[in-house]
Amino acid sequence: MQTTRIFLTFTVIALTGCASPHAKNPADPLESFNRGVYQFNDAVDKAIAKPVAQGYKAVMPVPGRIMVNNLFSNLDDVVITVNDLLQFKFTQAASDGARFVFNSTFGVFGLFDVAHRLEKHNEDFGQTLGYWGIGSGPYIVLPILGPSTVRDGVGLYADSRPSKLRHVDHIRTRNQLYLTKEVNRRAQLLDQEKVLDEAALDHYEFIRDAYLLRRQSLVYDGNPPREEYDYEEENGFEYQEVPIPNVPSSKNNLMPAARLASVTQQQPFTVQQIEADRPSVYKVWGAQLSGIR
């Protein structure tokens, strides 16, 4: 499965020379091709993946789903710990490594999260490459696998090397574990799908912008550098950093808010006015922060 991932990644990379020069988003030069793959993935999801995930959620009791999720989360801690070390985050590595040891032993192979008091982090090789200054490259949509970038596609393959699942010798058991992991992951997304239905945006564009924004945030540990947008200067906007309500101060609680540069004495814009003036990427951010799940 991991070999298929890397093959698909580099197949799409090879198509970058065919990208349209008129792509709307410079991070997505393959937009026409990506939209076609997205439509294919969406059709497969509606026909197969989603019904299977719904059936899994219907027959599997909540405690069972929690244990399955704990099992795969525990296995992921191995990959996370390796990437902690590659980024010289030794405190995180100690925490994630300890989680794996305690959960694998006292937690019965990770079925129970007995180390829940130790903070769990989110690191992968795509983030490690970003940490060392390697750009994300073009956005790509992989068949079946979904949103990615050139950097993250390479990261998928690299993360498969230390993965515990890859080292399961019995092929049938290994494939069943991979399938169970993906079904469990798809089931977790069922309750979040209404984000797409309620967002007044193109679904493809929404997913792309949300994915790129999230990956950028992960690479910079929640504190990404602010990016400039052409429309800011064209429309006379300036940005100021304001606290996000109901977000702990330890969690980068700043987000951009738009206002007219020429207006200094008027009342602040309403949320609706800010939403109307922000680019789609900030609308995605706003939707996530407002609790729409």
* Residue 224: both structure tokens together: 């990404």
Higher pLDDT residue, 261 or 200? 200
Span 107-165, pLDDT tens digits: 999 999 999 999 999 999 999 999 999 999 999 999 998 999 999 999 999 998 888 88
Residues near 195 by Cβ (< 8 Å), separated by ≥ 6?
206, 287, 288, 292, 293
pLDDT for position 262: 34
Residue type at position 176: Q
* Residue 75: both structure tokens together: 């296995």
Span 199-228, pLDDT tens digits: 657 889 989 999 999 999 999 998 888 765
User: HSE (CB half, 13 Å, CA atoms) of 290?
Assistant: 13
Residue type at position 199: A
* Residue 290: both structure tokens together: 């407002």
Q: Helix, strand, coil shares of the chain as percentages rounded to 5?
A: 60, 10, 35
Higher pLDDT residue, 252 or 75? 75
Higher pLDDT residue, 202 or 59? 59
pTM: 0.70
Q: How many CB atoms lie within 10 A of CB 281?
A: 20
Cα first-last separation, the chain: 30
